[in-house]
Structure 1
Amino acid sequence: MKERNDTDWIVSIEDEGIGIDPEEQEQIFEVFQRGHSHSDGNGTGIGLALCERIIERHSGEIWVDSELDEGSTFSFILPAADT
């Protein structure tokens, strides 16, 4: 889903995965930190950290809303270009 307010674009992506414990949601944006153990799924812990750095470099913000066993919604906001 994407939407635009007066000055920003907001994009959200939902999944139906294993979810992320609310206590671990901040750490998943740090390099080599994962929201689950290696036995629960693949991943190196680099992808979301890279996304956060790219979005912050463009004056944006990224966050996740999630509950265990209920999937996750990853959202980010970026300033809209002047036209």
Structure 2
Amino acid sequence: MSTAAQAVPPWGTSRLRPFPPAVAVPGVAAEIDPDTQLGIVRDGAGQVVEMGKHGTGTGRETSTSTSPDGQNGADQGSDQEHDSD
């Protein structure tokens, strides 16, 4: 019996599988509006299809500052909220 450790493959590699085949949706075309750089989806008749609204992301950050002597400065921390569409 060998004392060398056997190579053990990473856990996730045993779970890998090919993606299922893509299914084309007949009569639908997607394009980019050159002015707004937004995606536009059209149905078989060429009419724009409303894709609905997407949620917005909100991030919160807390930052602290210290003075040169290592003590907390007047700004004990600030919460910053960022909203994006």
Which gives a bigger RCO, structure 1 or 2 (Cα 8 Å, sep 6+)? Answer: 1
Query: TM-score normalized by structure 2?
Result: 0.22
Larger Rg: 2
Q: Which has a greater percent of strand?
A: 1
Q: Which has a greater percent of helix?
A: 1
